[in-house]
Amino acid sequence: MVKAVCVINGDAKGTVFFEQETSEAPVKVTGEVLGLAKGLHGFHVHEFGDNTNGCMSSGPHFNPRNKEHGAPTDENRHLGDLGNIQAAGDSPTAVSITDSKITLFGADSIIGRTVVVHADADDLGKGGHDLSKTTGNAGARIGCGVIGIAKI
């Protein structure tokens, strides 16, 4: 088993936990994010664990297989495409995702990369906007943090 944690800072703040039993098992992503306006917010793993220039230095979505942006259930998607989280407004936003494409093991591990929370909804590559197939047109990066190994 591998566990990881990400402390999100910025206008959006929170803590997100990652857990994977084996390299073949899905990753369970849980936690909460504060400071989100009501609605959907893009939630992605970006390529670099570099937050020296805030969330902007985290690079593009983690995409080692050179796929187009898509929904978490799409075969053609970036590994870092985790879809949206739903904010109710004033209360903390729960994160509860199970994903079979990301991993905490091996060369494609997301450990050391950055989770980014976006200002707007991710259109899951289906919005027809110029940015739909690269970013999901999810808007500004309003919170981020590096994923680190956690104690088991």
Residues acting as catalytic residues: 44, 46, 61, 69, 78, 81, 118, 141
| Phi, psi (degrees; rounded to nearest 5) at 5 | -140, 150
55 token code pair: 């969330």
Nearest in space to 49 (alpha carbons), one of 151, 141, 144, 139? 144
Environment class of residue 22 by beta-carbon count within 10 Å: exposed (0-12), middle (13-18) or buried (19+)? Answer: exposed
- Residue 25 CA to chain centroid, in angstroms? 18
- Residue 79 CA to chain centroid, in angstroms? 10
Spatial separation of the C-alpha atoms in residues 140 and 117, rounded to whole Å: 9
Q: Which amino acid is at 84?
A: N
89 token code pair: 């407004």
